[in-house]
Every structure is written in C-alpha cells, then in structure tokens.
C-alpha cells in the first residue's frame, strides 16, 4: 500500500514541477488560464480548450491521485481489519490531506484551481470524499442504518455508466439543451434566470437518475 501512496503523491508532484519549471515563451505562468504548461500541451496536440480552460495533460496526471486513493480505500474496506481501524484510517488520512490542501491554498503556494486540478484542489477534494466515505461506512455498514437508501443505491450500482454519460453526453449536450429548453422558455414566461437554471439542473438530474433506474430494473450493471 505504501508504493500506491507514493505513486499518488508523484501524481501531484509531477504536474507541479512541469508547470513551475518548464519555461516556455507565453506558457510560463503555471496558474494563469491559457498561459501554463498544460495549455501548451493542449495546443501542441491540437486539443481545443473548453470554456472551463481545462488542460487535459495536467488534469489526468494530478487526478490520478484521486483514483489511487479510491483504490486504497476499497482495499482497506475489503480487508480483515476491524471496523474501528477502517473508519479511523479513512477519517485520519482524509483530514490530513484536506488540511494540506487548504494550507497550500491559504499560504499562496498552490491556489485551489479545478480547471487544472492543482495539487491543493486534489488534496482538498480527496480529503472531503474520504471523510464522507468513512461517515457513510460507519452509518450504513457498521451501525446498520440501511433503510430508505434505494434512491442512492440505484445510482451507486451504475456509477461508472453515469459518470461516463455525464462526461460524454450530459456535459457536452444534455446540460446545454435543457438549459435552453427549460431555462430559456421559463425566462420568456417571466421566470428569473436563476430559477430557470435551477429547474434545468433538476430536470437533468431526474433524467440521469432515471437512466440508472432503468438499468437497475433491467439488471444491467457496468463494471471494470
């Protein structure tokens, strides 16, 4: 497990070093949109930056830490260790990296930026996720509060499917379509844009949940 942890921190360190010490003309500002190393790689590979200014090369390396921590958490939960040790390990590590992320951001060392998945952002979000996982494990698996959870189970049983659906269809088509269809039409009827946008989000959520429900009813589950 230690080599996995080491690899996860290398996932955070490599983008930091590339962004800070690769001095390329017009791409030497690590945390400025369109002027960082990730933007240079995107441009070199003819990958168009989206409205969120995401840089594919930098993002997938640093985000790999999330994947490794998720794997480690799964291995821990499937191990023979006691429930107390599992809970304490998840909470302890979660708090540690959460604090580290906020310290990096608060001291100005590395700002918390989602669009390039900076190390502070990955640490903070990873910590929050692990703490929530630990609390869910304690509440549901240990204390056996397992009633009325089907709404969440339906999504969890096809988490891979709905994630890929959101990335390739929801984010690139469905969200915008529903924003125009719901938010735009409601705005014509005098509904404020903020209310229309909220309703649009709820409609998209309902559609995506129903897709998971349909697969759940058909006993179709996507797995790796």
Question: Cβ distance 162 to 155 under 8 Å?
Answer: yes
Q: How far apart are CA 77 and CA 83, in angstroms?
A: 8
Domain span at residue 197 reads 150-217
Report pLDDT for 105.
96
Report pLDDT for 178.
86
**74/25 same-domain check:** yes
Element of type H or E holding 19: helix 2-21
Report pLDDT for 46.
59
* Among candidate residues 104, 136, 168, the one where a domain is terminated: 136
- Calculate Rg over the CA atoms of the chain: 20
Report pLDDT for 49.
57
Report pLDDT for 68.
97
**132/156 same-domain check:** no
Residue 123, domain member (yes or no): yes
Model pTM score? 0.82
**87/29 same-domain check:** yes
Q: How many C-beta atoms surround the C-beta of residue 163 within 10 A? A: 12
Report pLDDT for 159.
92
Residue 224, domain member (yes or no): no
Length of the chain: 224
Residue 223, domain member (yes or no): no
Q: How far apart are CA 120 and CA 13, in angstroms?
A: 11
Residue in the structure block whose two tokens are 């204390």: 143
Q: How many C-beta atoms surround the C-beta of residue 190 within 10 A? A: 6
**126/206 same-domain check:** no
Residue 79, domain member (yes or no): yes
Q: Mean pLDDT per 10-residue run, the chain (224 residues)?
A: 94 87 75 72 63 62 93 96 97 98 95 88 98 96 92 94 90 85 83 88 95 96 86
């Amino acid at each position: 497990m230690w080599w996995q942890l080491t690899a996860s921190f290398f996932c955070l360190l490599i983008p930091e070093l590339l962004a800070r010490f690769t001095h390329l003309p017009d791409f030497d500002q690590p945390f400025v949109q369109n002027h960082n190393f990730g933007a240079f790689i995107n441009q070199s590979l003819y990958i168009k930056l989206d409205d969120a200014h995401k840089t594919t090369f930098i993002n997938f390396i640093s985000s790999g830490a999330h994947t490794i921590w998720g794997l480690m958490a799964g291995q821990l939960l499937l191990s023979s260790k006691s429930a107390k040790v599992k809970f304490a390990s998840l909470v302890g590590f979660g708090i540690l990296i959460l604090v580290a992320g906020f310290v990096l951001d608060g001291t100005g060392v590395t700002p918390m930026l989602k669009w390039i998945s900076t190390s502070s952002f990955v640490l903070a979000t990873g910590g929050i996720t692990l703490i929530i996982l630990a609390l869910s494990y304690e509440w549901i698996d240990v204390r056996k509060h397992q009633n009325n959870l089907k709404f969440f189970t339906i999504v969890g049983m096809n988490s891979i499917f709905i994630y890929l659906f959101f990335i390739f269809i929801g984010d690139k088509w469905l969200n915008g379509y529903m924003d125009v269809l719901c938010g735009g039409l409601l705005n014509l009827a005098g509904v404020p844009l903020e209310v229309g946008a909220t309703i649009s989000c709820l409609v998209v959520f309902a559609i995506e949940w129903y897709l998971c429900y349909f697969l759940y009813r058909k006993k179709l589950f996507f797995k790796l």
